[in-house]
Amino acid sequence: MRNGIVIFVIAGACCAAAGSAENALNLEAVKVAPGVVVTADAGAAQHVQLERAWDGALCRATLTNTGTEDARITEVVLFRAGHNLPPETRFYGEGFTMLSQTGGTLGQPVDLGGYTDRAHYKIPQPADAITAYGMLTLTPPSGDIVSMGFTSCRRFVGKFHVRPASIEAVIDTENLTLAPGETWSLEECWFGAGRDREALLAALGDRIKANHPPLRFEPVPTGWCSWYCFGPAVTAAQVQRNLEFIAEQIPALKYVQIDDGYQAAMGDWLETGKAFRGGIKEVLQQIREAKSEPAIWVAPFIAEEHSKVFQEHPEWFIMDDAGKPLRSDRVTFGGWRNGPWYALDGTHPEAQKHLEDVFRIMHREWGCTYFKLDANFWGAMHGGRFHDAKATRVEAYRRGMEAVLRGAEGSFVLGCNHPLWPSLGVIHGARVSNDTSRSWESFSNTARETFHRNWQNGRFWWNDPDCVLLTGKLPEEEFRFHATAIYASGGMLLSGDDLTRLSPERLAMLRKLAPPTAAAARFDDDSFRVGRIDLEGRHMICVFNWTDEAADATITLPEPCAVKDYWSGDDFGTHAGTFVLKALPRHSALLLECTPVPAGTK
């Protein structure tokens, strides 16, 4: 017993194997590694039974209370396995939130995003471990790549704690009560190892897809977004000018997204504020009349204190231990504007009805067919109490999202700033990077964040790499890097520029991005220097120079091909096998269009 918490260890078939002389991290060692149940009740631990059943690489587990008293379960460690991976082993781990990712190495982990689960969202984590949520990969200097993942997220948060000599697969049971005779089905976990990173991710992804069938939406959405050119001060005249440009110059951009600023208060989404002089519905009508599709930004789970919805219905919100609405800044980030926010309780029937009504009105009466949802994390906020006392934060979020989907009635639903694994099967699209901006630092960072999630595109949802930005004073090479990264994502395409300011050259580049291929690049390795997209009749090869110096790049072709620069049309000739691109400029990329030719063609 430690600080009032009881730890009950369930041995594997042979506990010594987890700490064997080789200390190898492989499937057999993981299967026999001990499991641990952590309870908050001293007398309950001995009556809690963890059953694990392995089906090949899949672990399915249940937890049963065989006693006569309630047991409060803090967490379940499915396995705690030893390893001898060196500190230079490359690491990648997903975050609980979309904005959190961890890279680097075991010895020197690196936060890829600026908004970490640990520091920004204040999600409790052990100080002596790297914590990943949902999945991770470990790439040692030699030997097999190891990947682990939770292949379901129906009720509980699944995570991994990685320490210098051990790794734990943990299910957060949130101190919920397991009644006498009650059995919980826990989340399914998967283990894989091999030399092909992309094949491992595909195997993990296919199993997740089997547990959480994706919402289908065709084709991949394209459009224009007001935020990165006009911000919350966007006007009807600015929207109208871009509507006219789209109709005349690039009709492939289907959706026109009004991104924030229209609402009277955070939470009062049907009460229009000062934006458009209160005439948001008139602007949406203009979009429809221009033969485009209206899209709108909504943050469905949050409300500021002075909003009408919070003032009139405080009982709809997540509560603290005293039964009062929980201020978000007491447990997490309080919000980026008009905070601290309060979070709607997705288990409350009236809150569900409210969500459904908001989106049905926006769809039927306002004509919106695309919804960008922001701040979704707060729908799964930790540290509170729900109307349904037996519900987890995953269940609260997913029930809220099901209400949103009912109201949206088949409209496209994009998740942003969302809890990643809890969103499986309840969104059509997912933002996969931080907000972009017109700088090399942003272009390179958001590209790397996106590429780590390329394997999710088309499996779980359409990836949204955020807007493509082609105006500004950056070097041409950096814009080409950025456009090539958007192409390599294979996902959604939204322009974030005032289209009337695009040069003819940049407009031509934007046209070449539409429509998206729907196929994300498969990279040769996790350096993300060379990515490949196989399309009908051609191979597209993306080559990136992330460095501050010119660099050569060696390309291997799958068959003899005529090679051209996709952006400029420059002819590289016909090649077979490998060829070298000399002195690729710093901060640049090439997108090569490789068309197969008969062997021997010159």
What's the rounded mean pLDDT across residues 254-258? Answer: 95
Please give the single-letter amino acid code of residue 152. S
pLDDT higher than 60, residue 569: yes
Cα–Cα distance measured from residue 547 to residue 525, given in angstroms and rounded to the nearest whole number: 16
What pLDDT shows up at residue 10?
56
Nearest in space to 523 (alpha carbons), one of 488, 494, 552, 549: 488
**Contact in structure between 483 and 236 (CB atoms under 8 Å):** no
For the entire predicted model, the pTM comes to 0.95
pLDDT higher than 70, residue 1: no
Cα 165 to the chain's mean position, in Å?
Answer: 29
pLDDT digit string, tens, across residues 91-107 = 999 999 999 999 999 99
Burial category of 253 from C-beta neighbours within 10 Å (exposed 0-12, middle 13-18, buried 19 and up): buried
Nearest in space to 379 (alpha carbons), one of 336, 348, 344: 344
Cα–Cα distance measured from residue 523 to residue 453, given in angstroms and rounded to the nearest whole number: 11
C-alpha count within 13 angstroms, C-beta hemisphere, residue 358 = 27
Q: What are the residue ranges of CATH 3.20.20.70 in the chain?
A: 266-431
- DSSP H or E segment with residue 282: helix 280-289
Task: Decide: helix, strand or coil at residue 101.
Answer: strand
Cα–Cα distance measured from residue 532 to residue 593, given in angstroms and rounded to the nearest whole number: 10
pLDDT higher than 60, residue 549: yes
Which residues are registered as beta bridge partners of 541?
Answer: 532, 592
Phi, psi of 446 (to 5 degrees): -70, -30
Element counts in the chain: helices (H) and strands (E): 11, 35
Write down the residue that tokens 């949902």 correspond to: 134
- Split at pLDDT 50, 70, 90, the class of 15 is very low
Q: Please state which architecture CATH assigns to domain 266-431.
A: Alpha-Beta Barrel (3.20)
What's the rounded mean pLDDT across residues 546-564? Answer: 96
**Contact in structure between 325 and 352 (CB atoms under 8 Å):** no
Cα–Cα distance measured from residue 169 to residue 184, given in angstroms and rounded to the nearest whole number: 17
Per residue in 454-464, is it b (16+ CB within 10 Å) or e — as a string? bbbbbbbbbbb
Neighbours of 500 (CB within 10 A): 12
- Split at pLDDT 50, 70, 90, the class of 261 is confident
pLDDT digit string, tens, across residues 190-219 = 999 999 999 999 999 999 999 999 999 999
Tell me which long-range contacts 230-236 makes (C-beta under 8 A, separation of at least 24).
230/498, 231/260, 231/261, 232/260, 232/261, 232/275, 233/261, 233/275, 234/258, 234/259, 234/261, 234/275, 234/276, 235/276, 236/276, 236/277, 236/279, 236/282, 236/283, 236/286
Residues 6+ apart with CB under 8 A from 307: 265, 266, 267, 268
Cα 240 to the chain's mean position, in Å?
Answer: 32
Please give the single-letter amino acid code of residue 221. P
Q: Please state which architecture CATH assigns to domain 522-596.
A: Sandwich (2.60)
pLDDT digit string, tens, across residues 220-243 = 999 999 999 998 888 889 999 999
